[in-house]
Structure 1
């Protein structure tokens, strides 16, 4: 811990270089964050189109880009049910909506609340208990129990406040939390808006944005609550995401190092005594209470030591105050006296030997890479992935995630359209176009991925209807089919070739298929299908040039999505293949 300044500066620079090489750098961080925000937009646009009234937010280390593969972070998502209105003031009550009043009294734990059910016809409390999800307390208030999370998502395993959804083969699990939104900033966090740290961080602009996001209530009670089944945790997660997005690269690297130390030395058996959220909170407090000038690359080691000292103080005092809701103690009831003693010993060991212990961290070969940088061992003594290999790994993962998400979103749209009429499909296309015109730039990118699927499906359904009547394809059908041709390498062109085949125009069908074959010869094509649980497809090295370009829609140049027909497209399917269609399912 007590090293010469020159040694500390050199160690900090070497540590920064290693973290850069394993993927904690500005370029990859910004790309991964934009990718997660794009996934969020694609999901929410899909839900909006098919009239599902909830909003999903991707949160945690994946969306923040504060993780690496060796930390095994799950996908964290919050699903906000928009049909429920949580209020703090009676003026926020909404007619014909399920309204709940947020209540905090002497029985609620700081940072938590009760939800009192209100009438939907006028702003008054409900007096009759409507179902088994509610309970009447001693004050005759009808309160919502937080057991809402149990069985909320089919196929998920309930784990605390979250529902863990197993990922497909080759992909990580997803931890999804059900929540309700309150449009106003929570009263218990109002003091944070006026709080000013040494470094004048967060800025006033960040605070204004944070307050505009309101807050969520999440179905989980405090470990020290007298009535844990009635409490709902108040979450300022969008504000916290804003704060992390505004950290500099040294602060991000410090956070990643804290999580590595946590996993390697403080929670080695997988037992979560100190959580990564606590480490994040400690980091934010440290940033608030220091000058911005100390958070630079050649001072990374000292910043890490400072955060570890603060973490030691939190454990020693059994108190880690939530960064925004000050009275919420994240460590309340978190560990026993015996566990606390063990944690303090482990943190002290890390502080006394931190420069040496860093060399023992196996995650992403950090220790080995640092030994090479410090000339402790010669270059080539260890084998590990190069920085280029790691960059390509993250880009490949991002590409596959995008492809499967787009394919899954299309499946949801097909299920929604399956039993609709052609007229309703036309209205759906109009709704999609209208939404895209009135959207921001990120949402417009998301629409570019989804719209060709819809255009191709609508054009095919029109063609099927006209083929059934007079074995002809109307010009309007070809217009919509043409609008969907930039979907990918082959799925839309296969549909078009199939339509010409069904009308007997074999020359056009052959021309389209030959052109598609040439496309396959230009690039190694990656086939993506979300219909079945299959291992991730092989992504060839030749695809990497496309990945490294800074345009998301370039993935359509190397991707072949599966070809799917609805029953209303039956006349566009060659008779030899029609046995594949199931009249009860989307195929």
Structure 2
């Protein structure tokens, strides 16, 4: 990556003070290191609770909640369900599991594969109905889902989640205040791909050798979605390294994480309206490559804007070449068949506009723009508001932990609610949240509004 075009700005900007204010704004908006670590630890605890129960799948929190980089209602809640007792292996690799598939990567794009049946003993499994014959072999269709057709769930406020149209590998569920993305997956053992990642030359000490060694021992996963334009639209699956990517995110420094958050906010405000493919996952890969190819000392509060410019320039270069390499599988192009020529031209033009505006880039991002004004005009009020929001989010997560501890497979919605109502811990969380979010309950009642609706809308707004 060439940093010269970014560095030309450093002599003309008075950046140090601005970067300090920007970093403080992120802290006050809910992206402090304390809140990031709190979300990570709570998500880890939630996974441990779920995985201690007799479910047919292993739960893995993914996305911004597991990274700690998103407020509770700011984005979807992403969760991977990994089927127990099933493993997919590359040819020539010895592994013992009752239900096994072979990775058949022939004629698939890098990072994609079909799953060819090796042996399958659990004929009563949900898997059996997805097996299909193709080219004189048996494969599993990517219509597979760990979730039964009649699957339903409720959120922590007792509001039912409805099934939405499938999007990529995920099965979305949601209600007006929150959306879940559930992704079914199989464990995947593919040493050839991971060893290629391990052996890649690195010159700036990230990831460090211990982390590289740890990642080399982790399994990958396959998720049910074919590449766009695939020859096998019904049986191709995507290979991913979700656990590895999460560890890489957790290894980033405070200011590398803030760089990622800024990129996500800019993408959501400015770039995604032009092309939905410029996702947070794209920005994550941009950050990974930027961190790997730059010395650690370049990532500090003082260089926050300069590194942001670097990342936007790199994104622009990738768009112009129509090639953004996946960080874990470098041969996989994240832009392949996903960004049209028209979208590419609009995105490059918009990035040029952002680069020319320097620190005024955040005029396009309402969340940052409003926060900067608050920090300047009413810093004490802003700090109090932030403290209250962080308290509310921690209570929501604590409530979620109690909810997850209380629920077990087969429990009806009514039985679950009865058990929650009998929990003084849970009801205390609800009472405190109500006092914080709707202190004007009498006025709400006098206006004839539904208290539960007002509570849910306010909480969603506060934690978005």
Contact 1:185 1:212 in 2 (8 A): no
| 1:215 Cα deviation from its structure 2 partner | 0.7
Contact 1:149 1:162 in 2 (8 A): no
Residue by residue over 1:225-259, the C-alpha shift from the partner in whole angstroms, topping out at 9 and shown as x without a partner, is 22222211001010000000110110111111001
CA 28–526 in structure 1, closer or farther in 2 if over 3 Å, else same: closer
Q: Hey, what does 1:236 align to over in structure 2?
A: 241
1:73 aligns with 2:75: yes
Among 256, 279, 291, the residue aligned to 2:283: 279
Looking at structure 2, the residues matched to 152 and 112 of structure 1 have their Cα atoms a distance apart, in angstroms, of: 25
1:116 aligns with 2:119: no
Matches within 5 A, 1:360-375: 360-363=364-367, 366-371=368-373, 373=375
Residue by residue over 1:384-433, the C-alpha shift from the partner in whole angstroms, topping out at 9 and shown as x without a partner, is 972212221321221222232223x24x3767xx9xxxxxxxxxxxxxxx
Q: Hey, what does 1:86 align to over in structure 2?
A: 88
Q: Hey, what does 1:191 align to over in structure 2?
A: 196
Among 268, 271, 288, the residue aligned to 1:266: 271
1:104 aligns with 2:111: no
Matches within 5 A, 1:23-422: 23-47=30-54, 52-68=55-71, 72-90=74-92, 92-94=94-96, 97-105=98-106, 107-120=107-120, 133-138=130-135, 140-149=136-145, 152=148, 154-155=151-152, 156-157=163-164, 158-166=166-174, 170=177, 172-182=178-188, 184-268=189-273, 272-363=276-367, 366-371=368-373, 373=375, 378-379=377-378, 386-407=385-406, 409-410=407-408, 412=409
SS in 2 for 1:119: strand
Q: Which structure shows the higher strand fraction?
A: 2
Contact 2:146 2:184 in 1 (8 A): no
Contact 2:60 2:80 in 1 (8 A): yes
Contact 1:101 1:116 in 2 (8 A): yes
Residue by residue over 1:195-239, the C-alpha shift from the partner in whole angstroms, topping out at 9 and shown as x without a partner, is 232311111111121122211011101013222222110010100
Matches within 5 A, 1:543-554: none
CA 22–217 in structure 1, closer or farther in 2 if over 3 Å, else same: same
Larger relative contact order (CA 8 Å, sep ≥ 6): 2
Among 22, 31, 39, the residue aligned to 1:15: 22
Structure 2: which 5+ runs fail to align? Answer: 1-5, 122-126, 153-162, 438-464
Looking at structure 2, the residues matched to 380 and 22 of structure 1 have their Cα atoms a distance apart, in angstroms, of: 12
Looking at structure 1, the residues matched to 71 and 217 of structure 2 have their Cα atoms a distance apart, in angstroms, of: 31
SS in 2 for 1:325: coil
SS in 1 for 2:102: strand
Q: Which has the larger radius of gyration?
A: 1
Contact 1:320 1:330 in 2 (8 A): yes
Q: Hey, what does 1:558 align to over in structure 2?
A: none
CA 110–77 in structure 1, closer or farther in 2 if over 3 Å, else same: same
| 1:299 Cα deviation from its structure 2 partner | 1.0
Looking at structure 1, the residues matched to 110 and 225 of structure 2 have their Cα atoms a distance apart, in angstroms, of: 13
Looking at structure 1, the residues matched to 344 and 137 of structure 2 have their Cα atoms a distance apart, in angstroms, of: 39
Looking at structure 2, the residues matched to 5 and 388 of structure 1 have their Cα atoms a distance apart, in angstroms, of: 36
CA 20–78 in structure 1, closer or farther in 2 if over 3 Å, else same: same
CA 217–396 in structure 1, closer or farther in 2 if over 3 Å, else same: same
Corresponding residue pairs, total = 410
| 1:190 Cα deviation from its structure 2 partner | 1.7
| 1:188 Cα deviation from its structure 2 partner | 2.4
Looking at structure 1, the residues matched to 270 and 209 of structure 2 have their Cα atoms a distance apart, in angstroms, of: 37
CA 369–53 in structure 1, closer or farther in 2 if over 3 Å, else same: closer
Looking at structure 2, the residues matched to 299 and 254 of structure 1 have their Cα atoms a distance apart, in angstroms, of: 10
Looking at structure 2, the residues matched to 110 and 66 of structure 1 have their Cα atoms a distance apart, in angstroms, of: 29
Per the normalisation by structure 2, the TM-score is 0.80
CA 216–381 in structure 1, closer or farther in 2 if over 3 Å, else same: closer
Contact 2:10 2:306 in 1 (8 A): no
The ranges of structure 1 where at least 4 consecutive aligned residues each deviate by more than 4 angstroms after the TM superposition are 150-153, 380-385
